[in-house]
Amino acid sequence: MGKLILVTGGTRSGKSGFAQNLAESLAGPRYFIATCPKVDPEMDERIRRHQQARDVGEWWTIEEEIDLGGIFGRVRDSRVCLVDCLTLWVNNLLFREEQAGRILTEQRMRNHCEEVIEQIKKYAGTTICVTNEVGMGIVPENAAARLYRDLVGSCNQIIAQAADEVILVSCGIPLVLKD
């Protein structure tokens, strides 16, 4: 059975760097599961910088915006998977549903999370998931932003409940919430 570690924190808190260092401290080979869609030149540059940071650590990258559960069948040869990040995964699911004229409900979000957890448990290696902590900010002014915040919060709670470890990173400093 695989090990699941959730790393959370605010924007620019150092959570991705911490998660990468943690993954690199474990025996490889390693997969980086990138959920970020390429939407504009600025995001392309961010993605390029993240890729450069992994050039030295024996990484293979899989870009997957939606089907996180399906990834784990393709990475059986690895010992470590780093998913960065769940926040963008929720964004991608929400966008896909909106494009299809549907609403991504809390129950459907739960179903997506449970599918991912089920696949992680079948995976023999360590999975590190990165996510943004969204519950410490202001209440968004519009319904779409509130729905997104609520879905990310639900996803974080569901994954944290199933995780073996949960680590909050603030100002680059990790704080273990669950061990």
Q: Which of 50, 79, 108, 121 is catalytic?
A: 50
Residue 50 is a catalytic residue:
yes
Give mean pLDDT, residues 143-162: 96
% of the chain with per-residue pLDDT over 90? 74
pLDDT tens, position by position, 34-78: 998 766 677 667 666 666 665 666 889 898 999 999 998 888 888
Question: Which pLDDT belongs to residue 43?
Answer: 64
- Cβ neighbour number for residue 67 with a 10 Å cutoff: 12
- Domain borders along the chain are 3-178
Q: Rounded CA gap, 81 and 30, in Å?
A: 6
Helix axes 15-24, 41-53, angle to 10 degrees: 30
Question: Which pLDDT belongs to residue 45?
Answer: 72
Question: HSE on the CB side for 92, CA within 13 Å?
Answer: 19
**Distance, C-alpha 93 to centroid of its chain:** 13
pLDDT tens, position by position, 87-112: 999 999 999 999 999 999 999 999 99
Burial class of residue 64 in the structure, from the number of CB atoms within 10 Å of its CB (0-12 exposed, 13-18 middle, 19+ buried): middle
pLDDT tens, position by position, 23-41: 999 988 899 999 987 666 7
What fold characterizes domain 3-178? Answer: Rossmann fold (3.40.50)
Predicted structure pTM score: 0.91
